[in-house]
Amino acid sequence: MKPGSDLKVEARKHFQYLHLIHEDVREELYLLGFSEQPARICDFGCGNGLTTYSLALEFEQAECTGIDRFDGVDAPRLEHLLQFQESLTKHCAEEAASRKPFPEELCSLVQKARLPRFHRGDFIRGENLPEGVDLAYCKRIFANVFEGKQAGDPSGGEGLHLAVDRIAASIRPQGTLCSVEFEGFDLAKYLAKRNLRVLKRATLQRRDVRSRGRTTVLSRYALVLCQKL
C-alpha cells in the first residue's frame, strides 16, 4: 500500500489480487498432494504478504506468520502491510453486505481464519526466525538467494546452503517444506544435506499474477515437498 492512500480502495485492490494468489497457492498444494492440517505455518520471504494471507485462508485454524526483511526497494514497508490488515478487518463486513462484495471465500479470511502475523526476519543470517514450524512455505526465494539479488548477502551455493540450513532449523521434526521456483532450478543436493527428504515433485504452467491481474505470458514452475527427518 502507498502512504496516504485510501485504505478502503487499497483493500479492494488487494482483495482482488489476493483472490488470484490464493488460487495459485491452492493449486500448488493440490499438485503436491499436501493434505495435512499444519498448526504453525511460516511464509519465508513473504514480500507483499498475499501468499501468507492465502495460507491463512487455506488453513483457517493455523497460526500463520510471514517474515521478510521489509527493507528492500521491492519489499513493502512492514507498517503498510499492517495498515492493510487493519483496513481488511474494518471493511470486510461492510463489503460482504454490499452489492459487489469481495469474493465470499476471502471474506471468510477475516470472519473465520486467524489473521497472519508479520515481522522482520532474515533467513540467511538466521535472525528473528520462528521455531517448531509445521509447514515452511518458500516461494521464489531460493533462486533469488543463489543469484545474489540482495546486495551484501552470500550468493551461489554458499548462500543457498545458509538459507536452506536456517529454514530447516525452523521446522520441527517431521515437519514439511514446500518450495516453488521457476522450472530449471534444482534444490535437491542442498535439501538432502539438511535432512530434508523429498516427498513429491511436480511441475505446473500458468500465467503469473500481477497487481492488474494475470499476465498473458506462461511460466513454468517446479514444486518440491520435503519432510524434515
Round to whole Å and give the CA distance between 139 and 81.
Answer: 18
Over 50: is that where the pLDDT of 1 sits? no
- For 67, 156, 185, 191, the CA distances from 137, given in Å and listed in that order, are 11, 21, 17, 14
| Cβ atoms within 10 Å of 204's Cβ, excluding its own | 16
Confidence at residue 142, expressed as pLDDT on a 0 to 100 scale: 95
Quick one: cell of 212? 492488474
Cα gap 17→174, rounded to integer Å: 33
Q: Let me know if residue 114 belongs to a domain.
A: yes
Is 2 among the domain residues? no
What residue spans of 123-196 are helical by DSSP H?
A: 142-146, 156-170, 188-192
H helix and E strand count, the chain: 7, 7
Q: What mean pLDDT do residues 65-78 have?
A: 68
Place of cell 452489492: 99
Q: Which residues lie below 8 Å from residue 99, measured CB to CB, with a gap of 6+?
A: none
Per-residue model confidence (pLDDT) at position 101 = 53
Q: Is residue 174 part of a domain?
A: yes
Instruction: Read off the CATH number of the domain in which 217 is found.
Output: 3.40.50.150
pLDDT over 70 at 105, yes or no: no
Name the grid cell of 69.
526483511
* DSSP H/E element including 111: helix 104-111
**Domain annotation covers residue 43:** yes
Strand ranges (DSSP E) for the chain? 40-44, 63-68, 117-120, 133-139, 171-182, 196-210, 213-228
Residue-level pLDDT at 151: 76
> Would you say residue 1 lies in a domain?
no
Is the confidence at residue 75, as pLDDT, over 60? Answer: no
Encode pLDDT of 166-220 as tens digits: 999 999 999 999 999 999 988 888 888 888 999 999 999 999 988 778 999 899 9
CA torsion 225-82-159-211 (nearest 10°) is 70
Number of domains in the chain: 1
C-alpha cell at 5: 492512500
Domain encompassing residue 14: 7-228
β-strands 133-139, 171-182: how paired? parallel
